[in-house]
A and B are shown apart, each in its own frame.
Chain A
Amino acid sequence: MSAADSHYVAKTFMDHLPILQVVIPLISAPLIVFIGNRKLAWVIAMAASATAFVIACLLLAQVKDGSFISYHIGGWAPPLGIEYRIDALSAFVLMLISGIGTIVLPYAYTSVKTEIPKRQHVLFYALFMLCLTGLLGMVATGDAFNVFVFLEISSLSTYVLVAMGAGKDTRALTAAYDYLIMGTIGATFFVIGLGLLYMATGTLNMADLADRIANQGANRTVQAAFTFIVVGMGLKAAMYPLHHWLPNAYTYAPSAVTTFLGATATKAAIYVLLRFMFSVFNPGFYFEDWTLYLIFIPFSLLAMFAASFVAVFQTNLKRMLAFSSIAQIGYMLLGIAMLNATGLSASIVHLMNHGITKATLFMGVGAMVLYSGSAFFDNLNGLGRKMPLTGAAMVAAGLSLIGVPGTAGFISKWVLVQAAFENGWWIIAIAIMLSSLLAVIYVWRMFEVLYLTAPDEDCTATDPPLPMLIPMLILAFACIWFGFDTELTLGSARVAAEGLLAGSAGMAH
């Protein structure tokens, strides 16, 4: 060892956690393709996903007190190099995404056997891991262009995953095509916004951007960049009126894909929105206030009411849940528009609560589709009675979707109403409660079909096989557990919200 090495301290495993979070799923995808064996594909995917989940939990444990971890890729110090930056918000969303990925994989093992042709299974698992990598990378990185790269990795895999439902219904192909066109336009808008930011500040590192924008003041370039970024990521987050791709994509995709996407893809986009709106652009950015009040609030109220209203009149359970997702995203955006710590923590905790709720519901639908062939209400008569455990899980998740006290959904809606009262917005608080009533209507329709109608005579449904049943029950239990023990979810969300509201000061090195 020469003198140059004597003062270099080698890094340990714990130092590398931020990058391993992304690298382990990233390596598993080509490994699955290279080995090419169908059974090994699932094993590798499960191992990588479980490791990613453990790493995310370790990261959250490290940053729960409000600190942050900064990892320099290639040893190049930021702002010249790419850094990965984990703080409470990132770790929270990382835990959600990797957790959902790990839970969906056993479910997918049984579900894809019936929905996707055999020769595509290896590619399915590879694409699943690539999508997981993209979502995890989007959240973990601290460099703006890196967000775009991982966004496209996850989006491209998502388009193919949605198109894999073409075996059952050919409309999956047009749904994937629409999603592709709209998603690419959204991502390109994001790139234009980044370009404008780069022109104005000369850097791409998010912390450095925050510093330089704070010194810029009211600059047209920065304002235009803000608009492009919000519209671009809003399209990915299915912000009303940019939500059009969501119902078709969720309805015609395979069940495992819908479960995974419905719980993670839009949440990662909302994370990027939060990161850019609060950490990079100051919350005091005057243009931002107007945007929030004039655009976010009307459109999220529209989303909450219009999407719930359309959901009531659907005859396909998957489609109904897709429209309900759009409404729930409206809640999250409303929380962002409140611009106080309670509102932000409501949005962040709703990210997780809605994720586990929707995942349970879509898993239940997939289990029923195994026996009934399609997700139309007609075909699901009385299945709640024939599949008791599945029905119980769907009841728990349905109650969480409405926001009944004692479930996870109640916590987020409660904090959201609290935030509205803090701002003195009575009307908004009443609107939130009214739209929850609309949710009661469509969830009651689901109960009615599952329990109050007689099952068909030749119905051979029983509870699904264990690999599908156990993840569903774990998630349903989590829906109820997080309604009582809010320390993990609401605690981390509060720390994350404080960090966000500190604005660019929160991103100081």
Chain B
Amino acid sequence: MIDLDFIIGHLNYWLFIVLMMTGLYIVVARGNLVKKIVGLNIFQTAVFMLYISIGKVTGGTAPIYPVDSQGHMQVDPSIIYSNPLPHVLILTAIVVGIATTSLALALTIRIREVYDTIEEEDILEIERKLSAEDNKIHGPAMGGRA
């Protein structure tokens, strides 16, 4: 029995799960460094969506106290406000996401300048060759990538 109420009522959680899994899949499955960053961004955006969607209170308005002409705040306890806290948390998380993305892109640019490629398989090949040369000189090592 498909409980339609349950599905529609939890729509934001379904969307969050879909986006989160999409983002994680892209990070894992795509070999291009920039595409991995895109996947990471989608994953983080899913988390933002989760937080903001839970902040909405049914029938709630924007959580700002109105100010009358003299500049005094009018506090009316009967008005329902949406929860402002998740928005604050997400602002912080968005800024962190931007810093992470720009750092990842800067690293990608430098990797491109050094290895001339941004495909993960090619980079792994190059690094495997580098380690093989090291191992030829210094003896065989075990385990670990590169």
Contact = CB atoms under 8 A, between A and B. Distances in A.
Interface string A180-196: 11001101100110010
A181 B104 contact: yes
Interface residues on B, range: 35 or more
Interface in B104-119: 104, 107-108, 110-111, 114-115
Counting from the closest, the 3 A-B pairs by CB-CB distance are A313-B142, A310-B143, A376-B138
B139 A191 contact: no
Contact of B103 (A180, A191, A198): A180
A244 B47 CA distance: 24
Given A180-B107, A313-B143, A315-B139, A174 B127 contact: yes
Interface in A147-203: 148-149, 152, 156, 159-160, 163, 166, 170-171, 173-174, 176-177, 180-181, 184-185, 187-188, 191-192, 195, 198-199
Contacts of A418: none
A247 B104 contact: no
Interface stretch (B59-67, B72-80, B91-99): B91-99
A174 B103 contact: no
B108 A177 contact: yes
A264 interface: no
B27 A173 contact: no
Interface of B: 20, 24, 27, 33, 36, 40, 43-44, 47, 50-51, 54, 85-86, 89, 92-93, 96, 99-100, 103-104, 107-108, 110-111, 114-115, 123, 127, 130, 134-135, 137-146
Q: Is the interface of A mostly helix, strand, loop or mixed?
A: helix
B139 A173 contact: no
A192 B140 contact: no
Contacts of A110: none
A177 B115 contact: no
A192 B111 CA distance: 31
A377 interface: yes
Given A156-B96, A177-B33, 9 more contacts: A152-B99, A171-B127, A180-B103, A184-B100, A185-B24, A185-B40, A188-B44, A188-B47, A378-B137
A169 B85 CA distance: 45
Contacts of A451: none
28 contacts: A145-B89, A156-B103, A166-B110, A166-B114, A170-B114, A173-B107, A173-B110, A173-B111, A173-B114, A174-B111, A174-B146, A177-B107, A177-B108, A180-B104, A181-B36, A181-B40, A184-B44, A185-B40, A191-B93, A192-B50, A195-B47, A244-B145, A313-B140, A313-B141, A314-B142, A376-B134, A377-B139, A378-B138
